[in-house]
């Protein structure tokens, strides 16, 4: 077969393969694109309380600027995000180190520690709602049995964000630990041997070798958790519904209520697209950071 004929046959094969995969590709793109395009379109619509629809232009977006609940929701979202992410990264790395060095029954220890994130968030929320109930819950019972004063936990405007952050961290720290554990297992043993020969202490080894080498893995974990944390919904919806008052009213909870309880789908779409832009921004920032710390 001449070269020209071979090239022609290869081109035809590529064309056939493209044609065969086209339906699946078109279907997948449509499934992703349609909801996004539809939401963008809804963001330009005005829905009255009676569901009547009209073109609103940028009115939904300009309303965001003067909407106190939006700015409050943004603040709550960011506060919850930062607090939860810091807790999960710090304790996730610590847990990964514990699991990495576990010598006895490592399989059982790992299964036990990672079990919380296997639990559906709704179940976790219900469980913690019972535990943290100020009257009937086990948490206050334990505090009081140690002579400490009881706490209002989820019912206190000043404690609700740290409490929700703790619940989420209880559930998702093992997930971060699992990612970091994978990173730990892939670190080259030679650098540790060199550090041992040089007489480095365990703390110095962690500070100067383990942590810098783990940074790309930690940033990856941060990206994955950021996407979830900025869209925080289920545990808050189960435990506080945004309360007390609006102390835990994240943007996602606020958008849900505007859309499905007050039926203003247009404004809810604008809120959700703004939240999506924030999530994208956070992911892009972490992606750049990952590039900077790669080795």
Partner 1 sequence: MKARMLATQVALPMLAIAAVSAQAHAADFDWMKFKGKTVTFLANNNPVAQALLTYKADFEKLTGMTLKVDGYQEQQMRQRLVTVMNANSDEVDVFMTLPSREGEQFAAAGWYGDLTAIVKNEVAKEYDPAGLSQALLKAATFGGKLTSMPMNIEGPIFYYRTDIFKKCGIEAPKTIKEVEAAAAKIKTCDSAVTPFVSRGLKPAIAYTFSNMLHNIGGTYIASGKSNLCSAKGKEALDTYSRLLRDFGPPGVVNYSFQQISALYRSGRAAMAFESSNELRTVMEGGARLKDTGLLPFPAGEAGQVPTTIGWGMAVSSHSKQPEAAWYFVQWATSPEVQKKMALQGIAPPRPSVAKDPEYRKWIDEEPVRKEWQAALDVLATKGSSEVGYPIVANPESREFIGQAVQDLILKQKPIEQACADADKALDALIAQK
> Using the rule CB under 8 A, is 242 a contact of partner 1?
yes
* List 204, 263, 287, 291, residue binding partner 1 (CB under 8 A): 263
Q: Going residue by residue from 114 to 133, which x/- string records binding to partner 1, judged by CB under 8 A?
A: -------------------x
CB of 119 to partner 1, least distance (A): 19
Q: Which residues touch 177 (CB under 8 Å, ≥6 apart)?
A: 91, 92, 93, 95, 96, 99, 113, 114
Cα separation, 213 vs 184, in Å, equals 9
* List 128, 153, 170, 232, residue binding partner 1 (CB under 8 A): 153
> Please, which residue, 51 or 147, has the CB nearer to partner 1?
51
> Please, which residue, 217 or 240, has the CB nearer to partner 1?
240
> What's the sign of the alpha-carbon dihedral 64, 277, 240, 237?
positive
> Please, which residue, 45 or 220, has the CB nearer to partner 1?
45
> Using the rule CB under 8 A, is 265 a contact of partner 1?
yes
* List 111, 115, 241, 287, residue binding partner 1 (CB under 8 A): 241
Q: Which residues touch 72 (CB under 8 Å, ≥6 apart)?
A: 246, 249
> Using the rule CB under 8 A, is 240 a contact of partner 1?
yes
Cα separation, 216 vs 291, in Å, equals 8
CB of 284 to partner 1, least distance (A): 31
Cα separation, 208 vs 195, in Å, equals 10
> Using the rule CB under 8 A, is 186 a contact of partner 1?
no
* List 23, 52, 55, 103, residue binding partner 1 (CB under 8 A): 52
Give me the torsion for CA of 49, 51, 54, 59, rounded to 10°: 40
CB of 291 to partner 1, least distance (A): 40
Cα separation, 124 vs 242, in Å, equals 17
> Please, which residue, 157 or 281, has the CB nearer to partner 1?
157
> Using the rule CB under 8 A, is 141 a contact of partner 1?
no
> What's the sign of the alpha-carbon dihedral 21, 22, 24, 25?
positive
> Using the rule CB under 8 A, is 145 a contact of partner 1?
no
Binding site for partner 1 (CB under 8 A): 48-52, 133-136, 140, 150, 152-155, 157, 239-246, 257, 259-263, 265
């Amino acid at each position: 077969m001449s070269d020209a004929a071979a090239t022609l046959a290869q081109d035809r094969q590529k064309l056939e393969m493209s044609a065969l995969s086209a339906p699946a590709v078109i279907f997948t793109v449509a499934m992703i694109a349609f909801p996004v395009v539809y939401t963008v379109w809804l963001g330009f619509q005005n829905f009255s309380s009676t569901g009547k629809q009209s073109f609103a232009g940028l009115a939904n977006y300009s309303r965001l600027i003067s909407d106190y609940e939006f700015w409050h929701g943004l603040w709550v979202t960011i506060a919850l995000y930062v607090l939860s992410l810091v807790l999960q990264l710090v304790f996730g790395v610590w847990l990964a180190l514990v699991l990495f060095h576990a010598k006895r029954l490592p399989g059982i220890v790992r299964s036990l520690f990672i079990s919380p994130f296997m639990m559906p968030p709704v179940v976790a929320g219900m469980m913690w709602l019972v535990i943290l109930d100020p009257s009937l819950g086990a948490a206050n019972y334990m505090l009081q049995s140690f002579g400490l004063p009881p706490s209002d936990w989820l019912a206190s405007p000043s404690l609700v964000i740290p409490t929700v952050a703790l619940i989420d961290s209880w559930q998702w720290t093992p997930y971060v630990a699992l990612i970091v554990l994978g990173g730990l297992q892939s670190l080259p043993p030679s650098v540790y041997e060199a550090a041992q020969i040089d007489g480095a202490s365990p703390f110095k080894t962690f500070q100067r070798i383990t942590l810098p080498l783990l940074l790309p893995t930690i940033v990856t974990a941060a990206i994955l958790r950021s996407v979830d944390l900025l869209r925080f919904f289920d545990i808050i919806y189960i435990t506080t519904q945004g309360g007390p008052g609006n102390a835990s009213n994240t943007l996602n909870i606020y958008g849900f209520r505007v859309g499905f309880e007050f039926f203003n789908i247009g404004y809810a779409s604008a809120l959700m697209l703004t939240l999506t832009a924030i999530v994208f921004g956070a992911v892009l920032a972490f992606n750049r950071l990952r590039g900077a710390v790669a080795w």
